[in-house]
Amino acid sequence: MQSDLIRKATEVLQGGGLVAFPTETVYGLGANAFESAAVEKIFSMKERPSSNPLIVHIAEISQLKDLVEKVEPMEQLLIAAFWPGPLTLVFPKSDKVPKIVSGGLKTVAVRMPAHPMALELIKSCGFPIAAPSANPSGKPSATHHEHVKAYFGDRIFRMEGGETQHGLESTVVQVKNKVPHIYRLGSVTPEDIERVTGVKPVIDTRSPHSPGTHFKHYSPETQLCVLTKEVWKTRIYQALEHGKRVGILATTESARSLRGFEVTVFDLGSESNLMEVGSRLYSGLIELDQQKLNIIFVQEFPKTGLGLAIMDRLQRAASR
């Protein structure tokens, strides 16, 4: 039987409204993907540039045929391996997809989220849901319904699903001439994609083909600085010497090295579990940002596997 929550959220979406819903990556801010006027509301609510295209969320493979021109064999492989899950694929779009969804591009990004509430909602609506991350443009993505509440209050209908599992947005991939191009790194890693397709992906995270990768992103208001191991303690010590209120975003192991320092620590979990680090990253940025600090220091991570996606987000969040 359908829950009250799903029924209400469905009514809001069917009436052309917006719903924030949990996915396994981050919360999405959704509207009926086939209704331009509803999708328009997402852009104004987020203050998102209209040239930044949205991801369309589906619950069944059969929904693809209304959205895309065709699906290539390598895309079939990726779908079979990673859907439902944190992989977005970019396809040539069908005429049914409104221009506003694709930011005027000839392509459309689609994914099938691996979250029971998201899947149930899409099935209940009967149409695909266009949804960016549920944050004002440029801010860290919401990984808990409390973040969504802090960002938008009661201006949107909010589904409360607690903390999301991955905490990093989906990996965005387009297959071009039988080669996978990664436009955004995520928890499906380049290694995962190579294993499934047999082809080493091109990492193209500043691509003109993916406009969203160019905008300011994930940034807290407080200054954020990524530190290497070599300067970790000295830079933090110097900031304290200058009378700064210092926030630290670090693994349990790195935070331990700061015992006795007067700093506000957000623990990202053990360095041996990058999955957990990724899932806690935005919570850390959002929560430290609420503490009126002068500067937040975050440690560097090795740029392999999931570390690559974590460093991508940190470097973007730290750039001014």
* Contacting residues toward ligand TXA, per CB under 6 A: 23, 25-26, 28, 52-55, 88, 90, 102, 105, 107-109, 113, 131-133, 169-170, 172, 183-184, 209-213
Nearer to ligand TXA, 183 or 297 (CB): 183
Secondary structure (3-state) at 19: strand
Closest by CA to 161, choosing from 114, 125, 117, is 117
**Which residues make Cβ contacts (< 8 Å) with residue 58, sequence separation at least 6?**
64, 67, 110, 111, 112, 122, 128
Nearer to ligand TXA, 108 or 263 (CB): 108
Distance between CA 205 and CA 197 in Å, rounded? 20
Count of beta carbons in the 10 Å neighbourhood of residue 260: 5
Nearer to ligand TXA, 236 or 314 (CB): 314
Q: Which range in 9-17, 83-91, 126-134, 255-263 contacts Mg ion by CB under 5 A?
A: 126-134
**DSSP class of residue 44?**
H
Nearer to Mg ion, 280 or 313 (CB): 313
Nearer to ligand TXA, 82 or 297 (CB): 82
Considering the complex, what minimum distance in angstroms separates the CB of residue 178 from ligand TXA?
18
Site track 79-118 with Mg ion (rule: CB under 5 A), x = hit: ----------------------------------------
Residue 223 corresponds to which amino acid? Q
Q: Which of 10, 133, 170, 283 binds Mg ion (CB under 5 A)?
A: 133
Q: What element of type H or E holds 88?
A: strand 87-92
Closest by CA to 141, choosing from 122, 163, 119, is 163
Secondary structure (3-state) at 111: strand
Q: Which range in 51-59, 129-137, 273-281, 282-290 contacts Mg ion by CB under 5 A?
A: 129-137
Q: In this structure, are residues 59 and 119 in contact, taking their beta carbons and an 8 Å threshold?
A: yes
User: What residue 209 binds from Mg ion, ligand TXA, none (CB within 5 to 8 A, per partner kind)?
Assistant: ligand TXA
Summarize as ranges the residues that interact with Mg ion (CB under 5 A).
133
